[in-house]
Structure 1
Amino acid sequence: MPPPAPHRSLPVLPRREIEALIADGHAIIILDSYVLKADAWRPFHPGGDKAILHMVGRDATDEVNALHSPEARQRMNSYKIGRVEGRWVNFVPPIQGGKFRPRDVEVVDEGVEAESASSQDPSPVFDPVDPSSELRQRKGGYSRSSSISSVALDEDSRMSHIDVWTREEIKLDKSMYPPLEPEVQDDIVRKYRELGQRIKDAGLYQCNYTDYLIECTRYTLLLASCLYFLNIGWYKTSAAFLGMFWHQLVFSAHDAGHMGITHSFTLDTIIGIVIADYLGGLSLGWWKHNHNVHHIVTNSPDHDPDIQHMPFFAVSHRFLLSLRSTYYDKIMTYDAVARVTLRAQHYLYYPVLLFGRFNLYRLSWVYLLGGQAPKRGPAWWHRWFEITGHVFFWTWFGYGILYRSLPDNSTRLTYLLISHMVTMPVHAQITLSHFAMSTADLGPSESFVQKMLRTTMDIECPPWLDFFHGGLQFQAVHHLFPRIPRHNLRRTQALVQEFCKEVGIPYALYGFVEGNGRVIGRLGDVARQAKILAECKRVSVEKGEVPL
């Protein structure tokens, strides 16, 4: 759907010119039919430059509007260099494998587009859509494992087993979701933007601070209970309350990271860093750097860091190919360790999540000390504020509690493990909304809104349990409108369900137990695929067809 016509004073840039600019290494983004050159902003973007790189050559209007405040949108005007006319057809960004012709390359046929190398990933594990319902069918005979195992693996075919699985799952995805034709996707985008305006008019972006007063009361009670039981020598009980304190804090840090509390970039950043770094020992800057990319390339095995957990977990059979992560800029090797762990990953899922917080410490330190944090621009001070927060955290927790308040090393180790393992539910909640969902790449013609709903599920729970899930149970809604305060997400969900019914996009909604079962099922499917490939290789070796 063509957006509103831009101001006519800027020159119209032909598609071939934009392609040449990208080929020269420029970060060119289309926003409301304006052409933005974001080169100067890349080093200073508080969310990291990879979020920008994944939008190069694309119409980023919906992604930018979802993740940025009106003030940030206004600042983007200084990067306009031209405009485009008509409907923009997305390129595949260079970071995702798109190839672009330089200006000095002669173009014989103007109708031939730049070569785009786009990996095509696997797809969903859910039941077929019930045409009479806006929700995915939650009962029935379909299962992903039975579908995949029924694929005929022709030994004479040039396709590998993984190619066959991938193509079958992409075919399934396309059968479940609206067509990718421009007129269909444009209609979805138009109605999504109308929905956004209705949500804004309904006041759902406005934060009710009474809700946060209740949250702060809960945090205070949990921390006070931790200190009380620590004082009387009930160390295990104290550790459990500290873990619950951290578990609850994560939700407000998430809100602040999305500017969902005050809607001020600076104020919410301060709130988020105080919560995440000073009280939790985790880097808010790292989280935003990671999370912004996750919101743009959700569930892409090659690009989304939130599903890149090799060698412990693989939610797609494509990880068995030793993919290269564009986020971590390294190969996620399917090595000897992975060959063992992935075959049992559906059994190891919960035990590994018990230690998830320790990995977050590591990632935070790498971010703050490894040069990833912005050194200049409006976010230059974040790194130093965060480093100070980590010193503060390890002073009160590491020195004050673990070293000074506990009698011996055995008790210290027990306290450390209990307090950190109690936070496991939040790690399960974070993975729950995506691990069982589609990891397919349907190409650059798919709209932002359809991709978000195709790769994310919501979890059903009664309102009185909302505090436990902390808004993370509304991930599908959150991915469409990430700046809405979490206490308004339940009301927003009803509007999103109506929208999905209208445009024919299945809305994934499962109970907590069923959702966990879906995740374990997905992990089990990939584990079985790993075993199939290992068995095929063993047979081939025995026949002398491949070397050891």
Structure 2
Amino acid sequence: MSQAVALSVETEPQRSSAPAASARTTTGSEFAPLLRQVKEQGLLERRTGWYARTITVNLSVLGAIVFGLVALGPSWWALLLAPPFAVVTARMAFIGHDAGHAQITADRARGRLVQLVHANLLLGMSQEWWNDKHNKHHANPNHLDKDPDVSPDIIVFSKDHAAGRSGFAGWLTRHQAWLFFPLTTLEGIALKIHGFRAVFSREDNHMTPAHRAREAALLTVHVGAYVALLVTTLSLPQALVFLLIHQMLLGLHLGMSFAPNHKGMEMPDPDTYDTLGHLRKQVLTSRNIRGGALTDWFLGGLNYQIEHHLFPSMPRPHLRLAQPLVRAHCRSLGIPYAQTGVIDSYRQALGHLHEVGEPLRADA
């Protein structure tokens, strides 16, 4: 990625119809030449062997951590295993993400099985809840009404959603830029809560009874095995501290992986959003992160967010290979291709959150 040329983007996203105003009758064909190039170079072909090796390494590290907990017993030194446990758990999340996009295998049943094991059993997150939410995000990234990732919640991403918030919610919005990363430490626990709620409260109507039963069983096994591991190897105070360190670092890791991708990027006017076409819709709302092999590993390939959104089923190791093609194609069409460094990506994302809260601070 070092040869990539970063094009400038504004820190504050603009809700504008400018891209739509220049929409052409050829909008639908803008993506076709790029898709043809990618297919010709075999970049959509699965890398099952790569994923098999990656999964084997992840499970081996997980096994070593479990063995270490058993071997150390009720010792405060065992807390040193919590950070690597968080890192390897995040690896499970990345595999579950890739499996959900059919990156690992073209066999739908096998892909769902891989995701079910990694999401429900190893991570404690509902497969069906995540897929439904994430597919809506991919279909309409940064759409204020259709993308669940920018829906108003504890954090809000647009001034329209911030308007009128008062009390504790208003206080959160005024200070959300400072609170963002501390709040991400709760993400690992939040994923579990959302998953259990979707499965056990039957709020997700997409699940068949059989699939709901499978998800419920695996989520229950996850929690049971996790608690049993900690309480049988550590004292109760040690187990509680280990759990907090593990889950908080997991949430922070996931937050650091997801935060730079779209936050602070363009949020097109919902009224003209659908006129953009697939290429512009995905490129204009996504941001890539420069870096090398370590960045690719730590961010799970999500640093190639533009390529991932254009080709969701593209295997993770092919994303960096597709990047020069995508960048050159965007340049030929005059479409901004946003790429920046890791630190600057967080600066842009947090700067946007700070700007969203500005009206409430002015009124305070």
Q: TM-score surpassing 0.5?
A: yes
Structure 1 residue aligned with 2:351: 521
Matched, 1:180 2:11: no
Listed one character per residue, the Cα deviations across residues 279-317 of structure 1 (whole Å, up to 9, x for unaligned) are: 111111111010111111211222211123523x12211
* TM-score with structure 1 setting the length: 0.61
Structure 2 residue aligned with 1:478: 308
Structure 1 residue aligned with 2:159: 317
Structure 2 residue aligned with 1:204: 43
Question: In 2, Cα distance between the equivalents of 1:342 and 1:321?
Answer: 10
Would the aligned equivalents of 2:43 and 2:318 in 1 still touch at CA under 8 Å?
A: yes
Question: In 1, Cα distance between the equivalents of 2:210 and 2:44?
Answer: 28
2:293 corresponds to which of 440, 443, 463: 463
Structure with bigger helix share is 2
Correspondence 1:127-166 to 2 at 5 A:
135-137=6-8, 144=12
Structure 2 counterpart of 1:190, one-letter code:
S
Structure 1 residue aligned with 2:268: 440
Question: In 2, Cα distance between the equivalents of 1:294 and 1:245?
Answer: 25
Question: In 1, Cα distance between the equivalents of 2:310 and 2:222?
Answer: 34
User: 1:178: Cα distance to partner?
Assistant: 7.1
Correspondence 1:146-545 to 2 at 5 A:
169-171=14-16, 174=18, 177=19, 179-183=21-25, 186=26, 188-231=27-70, 232=72, 233=75, 234-311=77-154, 313-321=155-163, 334-374=165-205, 381-398=210-227, 400-408=228-236, 410-423=237-250, 424-441=252-269, 442-532=272-362, 534-535=363-364
Structure 2 counterpart of 1:282, one-letter code:
M
Question: In 1, Cα distance between the equivalents of 2:361 and 2:85?
Answer: 41
User: 1:207: Cα distance to partner?
Assistant: 2.0
User: 1:179: Cα distance to partner?
Assistant: 4.1
Which has the greater radius of gyration? 1
Question: In 2, Cα distance between the equivalents of 1:225 and 1:430?
Answer: 28
* TM-score with structure 2 setting the length: 0.90
User: 1:189: Cα distance to partner?
Assistant: 2.6
Question: In 1, Cα distance between the equivalents of 2:206 and 2:28?
Answer: 37
Listed one character per residue, the Cα deviations across residues 364-422 of structure 1 (whole Å, up to 9, x for unaligned) are: 1121123244567xx65322221111121012102x213222212x2122011111122
Would the aligned equivalents of 1:260 and 1:483 in 2 still touch at CA under 8 Å?
A: yes
SS where residue 203 of structure 1 aligns? Answer: coil
Question: More displaced, 441-450 or 420-429?
Answer: 441-450
User: 1:525: Cα distance to partner?
Assistant: 1.0
In the superposition, relative to structure 1, how do residues 270 and 374 fare at CA in structure 2: closer, same or farther (>3 Å)?
Answer: farther
User: 1:135: Cα distance to partner?
Assistant: 4.4
Correspondence 1:108-119 to 2 at 5 A:
none
Question: In 1, Cα distance between the equivalents of 2:37 and 2:115?
Answer: 28
SS where residue 360 of structure 2 aligns? Answer: helix
Would the aligned equivalents of 2:7 and 2:339 in 1 still touch at CA under 8 Å?
A: yes
Structure 2 counterpart of 1:180, one-letter code:
S
Listed one character per residue, the Cα deviations across residues 171-217 of structure 1 (whole Å, up to 9, x for unaligned) are: 5x62xx4743333xx2x431311211221121111122332233124
Correspondence 1:22-41 to 2 at 5 A:
none
Structure 2 counterpart of 1:306, one-letter code:
D
Question: In 2, Cα distance between the equivalents of 1:530 and 1:229?
Answer: 49
Number of residues of Structure 1 aligned to a counterpart in Structure 2 = 354
Question: In 2, Cα distance between the equivalents of 1:469 and 1:498?
Answer: 24
User: 1:464: Cα distance to partner?
Assistant: 4.1
Residue segments in structure 1 that go unaligned for 5+ positions in a row: 1-132, 145-165, 323-333, 536-548
Structure 2 counterpart of 1:224, one-letter code:
G
Question: In 1, Cα distance between the equivalents of 2:30 and 2:83?
Answer: 46
Listed one character per residue, the Cα deviations across residues 137-173 of structure 1 (whole Å, up to 9, x for unaligned) are: 26xxx764xxxxxxxxxxxxxxxxxxxxx9xx445x6
User: 1:450: Cα distance to partner?
Assistant: 0.8
Question: More displaced, 220-229 or 298-307?
Answer: 220-229
